[in-house]
Structure 1
Amino acid sequence: MIKTLGLPKAWRTSKGAGVTVAVLDSGVDPGHRDLAGSVVTGRDFTAGANPPGVAPRKLHGTYMASLIAGHGHGPGGRRGVIGVAPSARLLSVRVILEDEEPGFREFNSAERFEDVVAKGIRYAVDQGADVINMSISKELATKEERAAIRYAISKKVVLVAAAGNDGQRKPDANGFAPYSYPAAFPGVVSVGATDRGLRRASFSNWNPSVLVAAPGVDILGAGPGDEYWVGKGTSQATALVSGVAALIKAKYPDMSPALVAQALTAGATRRPPGGYDTGTGFGVVNAAGSLDVAARLAGHTQTAKGAQAQDPARPMAGGHAGPIQVINRDRRSVTLYGAIAAGGAIASITSLGILVALVRKARRVIPQRDASSRPGGDA
């Protein structure tokens, strides 16, 4: 995975220092040895779903957090899980329950929990998140989520979400796998998963919302209580892409979400034939390539910022403001070209009149011919 994403080269430029990645998930274990010191525990928007006294399991959230910013442990941090952006800071925001938690059914059916994702996005933005990882998916969107995403983008926060794991389901009426939210919202980086051969994983959703892909099969990550897990899904792929986004934002903190997305797509490898397909988007994310593209994009934006705005009250080339003066007027040429233009206009009007007459005649003939060619047809 490290080589596939081009991390050794990327880490010479950025390791994510100074960036906060919000992990909207089931909670993160801040005491795991590969995450210790990197996690700030934020709000729990699922409070009340589990019975009193039941502690969150934090399995999925810890797993995703380690892929984003795990720093390893032991001598030189060489053991355990090393995430894509090992120097990044993590903000844990609990917005889902694990399937095994006793309040899971209550959480997914009670109306009071309908907008927890939207609330989590706004909370993360207000807490200073630079990137928001959403390794979560659902089939129905809400207007509150759409508004929260607009709010995040307006604050230059990059949003990354899972395309979903329903790729083996029967295609919809348009011939695609189901759309998943929040990934399918405009402005969100929707991530598909690839297998070991860097082809679309069979479970990964394929539809036009998919922007990029990342490895999503047999991915090692951390679990609560210093455990480790191996799993597959677009969740894992999403966490890896969020890590790459964190590397970019650490190096170029003022870069807009749209330009970060452009760096991710333009820096991708294993591009599909034609440059895009609905399974892997614009290709497999590559951290080194994305940082190279980001450097070029940052150069353009810095040039634009450094340029002085043009004063509309002053002429473009400097000098004294004032009307343009005509030095010489060739009346003979003006008359000649005016006559030519007038003649052309007359010819055009005449041609148009002839064309209209022909069309009217054709309209009178065509219905009769069509009617007579259809046995038993109405005129």
Structure 2
Amino acid sequence: MFRDRPVATFVLLGTLMATALVIPAAAQAAAAPAICTNPSDPGEVNTETPWHQRWLAPQRVWPFSTGAGVRVAVVDSGTDSSHPQLTDRVTTGFDALRGTPGGDVDCVSHGTAVASIIAARRQDGVGFHGLAPDVTIVPIRVSERNANDGPGAGGDTVTGAVFAQAIRRAVDDGADVINLSVTLYYPDQDVEQAVRYAVEKDVVLVAAAGNQHQDGARPDPVPYPAAYDGVIGVGAIDQYGARIRQSQIGPYVDISAPGGAVVAATRLVGHNTYDGTSFAAPMVSATAALIRAAEPNLSARAVAKRILATADPARGDAARGYGSGVVNPYRAVTERLANGTPVAQPPLPDRPYDAAAQARAERWALFGRLALWIGLALAAVAVAVAALAALLPRGRRTRWRPTRPSTPPPIEPEIDEPEEIFFRVPNSTPRG
């Protein structure tokens, strides 16, 4: 009995020491969001299947690939590793704003939403999940703002130097795919060189095409890094397959993906609905991760070609902001391109306007209306002729004078005449 006491004592001390190690770590994780100047609120848990998951149907591709073994860097506002669907999916990452480890903190949910579209694992009672649920997320934190926040919003945001550092850090941390949903609207030499560095290291780069479409008033501003060579620029469509209004139009749009009213995770817990090319880009990044997991020896350039060549036809052509079409993860993973350079499927154009055909149609419509009225007029004439043919003989007999029907003679009542009574007289001799 006394011999067991030292053992119990060591067990107790070991438990206390483990607790002492765990509690500070948990406290540090809880205190980490204190760096946020204006943290966003978490959302409600989504129990319905979002439309973009029904559209892309990622479960069809999971028998072939779930993204296991692939590292996707999310260069954004950070990724909240404490979200239930992202636990064990997110590394510590890097905070490029401060030059220290700690990209797994998110103040505004933007980066968490992007990462969840890629890698959120399935969970009972939750309708939303990622397209490549076994991917590992490498968060690189470059901003404390949402993409739509104005200049007066609090928190630091990305600069060219920070952006370039983030891309290089993602490459050095072993990223196979880099998702860039943060956009610059000016060319930056440092960022361009960082993009070249990633391309040389055989990394797939996917970037949002921007959300500042001008509705034809003036050309859309050029988004970077989507406009750089070697980067897949992604536009956004809604649930009807049409480009969302803010999605930009330009030669930098290589492909489209769902990005209107899509469901994604918020920081801490829950989900929200998001709009913009920022949330279309991770659909393509997830597709790239699925391909790289299925075919590890395929180069980044070949992965990009596969994605563009297997896109579904879109409602409009590339000049209207659709690129090669709408991303199709199943086709991208299962279809092989064996004969030379792949050729993208032509998109379905809007119905063309043919002025000559329209004029012919209008003439035929006019002729049809005239024929109808002429037919009605001829029918009326025929009825009138038939009526005259019936009345003409009678008019001639009456010399076209009005006549009245003759009064019938009165009916005399029948008088019953008395019956004649005959008497037979017997034969007799007349008297003299």
- TM-score, length-normalised on structure 2? 0.61
CA shift for structure 1 position 179: 1.4
Aligned mates of 1:101, 1:90 — CA distance in 2: 28
Aligned match of 2:325: 283
Cα separation, partners in 2 of 1:101 and 1:191, compared to 1, 3 Å: closer
Asked if the contact 1:28/1:41 (under 8 Å) is kept, the reply is no
CA deviation string 1:283-331 (max 9, x = no partner): 00000111133x335x989xxxxxxxxxxxxxxxxxxxxxxxxxxxxxx
- Whether 2:140 is the aligned partner of 1:107: answer no
Structure 1 pair 12/56, CA: closer, same or farther in 2 (3 Å)?
closer
Q: CA deviation at 1:24?
A: 0.4
One of 206, 209, 215 as aligned partner of 1:163: 209
Point out which structure has higher relative CO (alpha carbons under 8 A, 6+ apart): 1
Aligned Cα root-mean-square deviation (Å): 2.5
* 1:325 corresponding residue in structure 2: none
Partners of 2:145 and 2:154 within 8 A in 1: no
Alignment partner, residue 66 of structure 1:
116
Could you report, residue by residue, the CA deviation over 1:335-356 in whole angstroms, capped at 9, with x for unpaired residues?
A: xxxxxxxxxxxxxxxxxxxxxx
1:194 and 2:274 are equivalent in the alignment? no
Q: 1:116 to 1:103 in 2, by over 3 A?
A: farther
Q: Is the 8 A contact 1:267 1:291 kept in 2?
A: no
Q: Say whether 1:242 aligns with 2:285.
A: yes
1:45-101: CA deviation from partner (whole Å, max 9, x where unpaired): 1129xxxxxx85151011111001110323xxx625311100110001101122479
Q: CA deviation at 1:170?
A: 4.8
How far 1:277 sits from its partner (Å)? 3.2
Q: 2:96 aligns with which of 28, 34, 45?
A: 45
What is the match of residue 370 of structure 1? none
Could you tell me how far 1:168 is from its partner in structure 2? 3.4
Summarize the Cα distance change of 1:101–1:34 in structure 2 as closer, same or farther, 3 Å threshold: farther
* Aligned residue in 2 for 1:121: 167
Tell me which residue corresponds to 1:9: 60
Q: CA deviation at 1:2?
A: 2.3
Question: What corresponds to 2:86 in structure 1?
Answer: 35
2:126 to 79, 85, 103: 79
Distance 1:205 1:166 in 2: 6
8 A contact 2:179–2:285 mirrored in 1: yes
How many residues were matched structurally? Answer: 283
Distance 1:251 1:69 in 2: 16
Unaligned ranges ≥5, structure 2:
1-51, 100-104, 342-432
The structural deviation recorded for 1:106 is 6.9
Partners of 2:160 and 2:190 within 8 A in 1: no
Equivalents in 2 of 1:169, 1:229: separation in Å? 27
What are the Cα deviations for residues 132-182 of structure 1, in whole angstroms up to 9, with x where unaligned?
Answer: 00111121121111111111111110000000001135554xxx4221111
Q: Tell whether the 8 Å contact from 1:4 to 1:286 is kept in structure 2 after alignment.
A: no
Distance between the aligned counterparts of 2:206 and 2:299, measured in 1? 14
Q: The residue matched to 2:85 in structure 1 has which SS?
A: coil
Distance 1:44 1:103, change over 3 A: farther
| Map of 2:276 onto structure 1 | 233
1:270 shift after superposition: 2.2
Corresponding residue number in structure 2 for 1:267: 310
1:253: Cα distance to partner?
1.8
CA distance in structure 2 between the aligned counterparts of 1:221 and 1:244, rounded to whole angstroms: 17
Question: Separation in 2 of the partners of 1:84 and 1:199?
Answer: 21
* 2:165 counterpart SS class: helix
Larger-Rg structure: 2
Shift of 1:115: 0.9
Q: Please name the residue that 2:337 is paired with.
A: 296
CA distance in 2, matches of 1:211, 1:114: 23
User: Comparing both structures, which one devotes a greater share of its residues to strand?
Assistant: 1
Shift of 1:278: 4.1
Change (3 A) 1:171 1:18: farther
Judge conservation of contact 1:267–1:292 (CA < 8 Å) in 2: no
Which blocks of at least 5 consecutive residues in structure 1 are unaligned?
49-54, 302-379
Aligned equivalent of 2:141, options 57, 70, 94: 94
Query: Are 1:212 and 2:224 an aligned pair?
Result: no
Distance 1:133 1:20, change over 3 A: same
Distance 1:58 1:19, change over 3 A: farther
Which residue of the partner structure matches residue 428 of structure 2? none
Q: In structure 1, what residue type is equivalent to 2:97?
A: T
What's 1:151 paired with?
A: 197
| Amino acid of the structure 1 residue aligned with 2:85 | D
Letter in 1 for 2:330: A
* Whole-angstrom CA distance in 2 between matches of 1:39 and 1:178: 33
Deviation of the 1:276 alpha carbon: 3.5
